[in-house]
Amino acid sequence: MRTLIFILSGTALFAVIFFLMRTLSPASTIGLALAIFLPIWLLVAVINLTIGVNTAGYTVVEELPILLIIFGIPAAFAGLVAWRMAS
């Protein structure tokens, strides 16, 4: 359940960043929204991995697939939106 919450949160964060960029500067591109979102979301995913290793007692090997899922699905969604908007 926690993983699903992270995935939905990442998708929502991208949507908020994207709509803020469009509202504040209509001339800004989707690339700028991606450039803001991806490092922030990677940091959140790494912090989640660190908490899982240090607090929950998981190993890094156990947490890496979760990191890939938590980062990868929202990042893929953002990339898909960017690709569709560029077309």
> What confidence tens digit (pLDDT) does each residue in 33-47 have?
999 999 999 999 999
Is residue 74 a contact partner of residue 14, using CB atoms and an 8 Å limit?
Answer: yes
Q: Is the dihedral of CA 43, 48, 76, 61 positive or negative?
A: positive
- The pTM score is 0.90
pLDDT tens column, 49-62? 999 999 999 999 99
